[in-house]
Structure formats: structure tokens, C-alpha cells
Amino acid sequence: MPGKNIVVGGVEIRAGKTDTVDLPIANLYTHTSLNMPVHVVNGRHDGPTMFITSALHGDELNGVEIIKRLLKRVTPKKLRGCVLAIPIVNVFGFLNQSRYLPDRRDLNRSFPGRETGSIAARIANLVSTEIIGQSDFGIDLHTAAVNRTNLPQIRANLSDPVVRKMADAFGAPVAIDAAVRDGTLRQYASREGKPTLLYECGEALRFDELSIKAGVRGILRVLRVLEMLPAAPPEKIVVEPTYANSTTWVRAPISGLVTAKCRLGQRVKSGQTLARINDPFGEIEVDVPASVPGIVIGRSTSPLTHEGDALVHLARFDDSQEAKATVDDFYEAHGQDTNWG
């Protein structure tokens, strides 16, 4: 069947066409207008609508690059349905290289928002009504916060069979059945019946090439499994995610200077040293052991810590050896070898 026209921000995009629509957010106090750009790829053929969002936190940059590269691969000629891509949702934070909005609100705790109120509420309302409201599925792209880094991973409601199908197709090495937090985009989209994945990868204010490549390939796989894109030739290495039973943060027992003793994707045993903390004079030295066996899926990158700070994020699996093999397959599939852990 031929595709259907779609209207975003009062602009009609015909089937088989692409367009960029600037959704007005607010005026700055300099009298400068600020807009949120939405790139619309409306397929020639009828099908579902997928939203892809990035930079809800303005310092999380990997998703911006993922969407940029993805849009070079997705054309109306082959697409069934429509892709609504917003590379920079939090334009204010992006300009200031900050996670937050100018009033220090977290945009990803503000959904569904409202038409009047704070800037966070207005942006959330705009995304909720213009984008999520017109979509059938979604993928939200994130990185770790400042001074942290994450192994590429999917977080989603894996009890939903459609979400599970999308997570399987994405091909991240780890998938976590993660509860939603109040006010998040994923919570609102899920509540509205829009199956949504959250892809976490890398660190804030940095491009990570492995994470970006995996993100582009993962989204393309999801579009194919939803039959929005034609099937592709079989891949040499097929990565099927391992599903974590639980996750836990290992925290600093004292304040001091940190030397990391583990890497992302590494398999660790209970009691294995993950980091070493010293005082500035080298008179005190404390090893930080793993509280459980598992795989390192996130860690602090700062050499400084206070007592109680989160240092290493561990995921537990039924078979941690199998999980490590999946991580190795993932790195190999994206051109990186591992011989550690």
C-alpha cells in the first residue's frame, strides 16, 4: 500500500519525502527563538511510525552522531512507514554542554509535561504530543553521566513481547529488564502503548566509535525486524544479547584517589579487586572488591572519589561465562578484539 502523509508541527510531509521541521520551544532572553529540529523520513510504502530521540540530557552526544549516520541509511524509497528522528531534544542543555535545563530540571523526569509551565514541561509536552503521540514504537538514546562510562546495553521492559523482540534484534551485548522511573520518556511512551527501548552507551561529552557503530546497526536491525526496512544479508557474527538477572553498584569504602583495576565488559569474580583507593600521600591503600560475580557494565572514570560514591556497575547472569562470550562476540563484530577478563 502507498504511504500516508504525516503532519508534524503543522507541516505536512507527503509519503515518499523527507523534511526537517523546527518545533518552536521558547524565546531566549536575548529575543532569540529556540527550536527543536525534527527530521521526518516518510516512507513511500505504508507502515508503522518509529520515533528516535537523543540528547534528552544535553551532554549525551553519542546519540546525536548515531541519528546523523542513521539518516544517511534510511531513505523513503525503501522505508515502510515513517521515522521521526530528534537528534537534540534538550537544545538548551546541548548548547551549554549540560545534562540539565537552565533551571536545573531534568528533562527526562518531566514527561508527559504540559503546554504551560517550566521549559522542561513545555519540551516534554511537545515531544509527547507531536512525536510520541504519532508513533507506534520508539528508541531513546543515552550515555552515562559525567565521569562515568557504560558498556553498550539495552534497558527496557523485557516482559513485553514486542519490546523483547526489538531488544533481541538490536544486538547489544547486554539487555537489562529495567523498571521505569517516574517522568521519563520511556515510562510515558510505554504507558501510551508505544513499545520503547533505551540504549545506553559510552560517556557524556565524548564520541565513542564502538557505541556509535553499534547504535546505528542496532536501530537498522530493529527497523528490519519490524518490517519497516527490507531484510539484509546475513551478518558474519550475530550477537544475541544476554539478559541480566540483576545489577548492582559497588561503592567507595573511603574517600581518596582511585586506580581502576577493571574494564568495561570484563568478567569478574566475587571478591576480585575492581579498584584501589589511596590517600594523596600513599599512606592509606584500600582495595575495592566485587560484591558479586558478573560483568562490568559501567564504571566511574574519575580518579577522585568520596566515600559512598558509585565506582563500578556489575550485572549478574545465570551464566557469566556465556555473558562474557557474548561481549567478546560483540566487540569482534564491531572490529575490536578482547583478550582480557
Residue position matching grid coordinates 523498571: 179
Whole-prediction pTM: 0.96
CA distance 266 to 273: 12
Residue-range domains of the chain with CATH: 6-225 (3.40.630.10), 244-333 (2.40.50.100)
pLDDT digits (tens, 9 = 90+) for 242-298: 999 999 999 999 999 999 999 999 999 999 999 999 999 989 999 999 999 999 999
**β-pairing verdict for 33-42 and 80-86:** antiparallel
Residue position matching grid coordinates 529495567: 178
**β-pairing verdict for 45-54 and 148-156:** unpaired
CA distance 52 to 38: 10
How big, in percent rounded to 5, are the helix, strand and coil portions of the chain?
Answer: 25, 35, 45
Q: Are 312 and 275 in contact (CB under 8 A)?
A: yes
Q: 27 φ, ψ to 5°?
A: -95, 135
Other beta carbons within 10 Å of 340: 10
Check residue 237 and give its pLDDT: 84
Check residue 326 and give its pLDDT: 94
Closest CA to 137 of 222, 66, 264: 222
Check residue 340 and give its pLDDT: 41
Check residue 305 and give its pLDDT: 98
| Stretches in the chain below the pLDDT threshold 70 | 337-341
CA distance 104 to 109: 12
Cis geometry, peptide bond prior to residue 112 (ω within 30 degrees of 0): yes
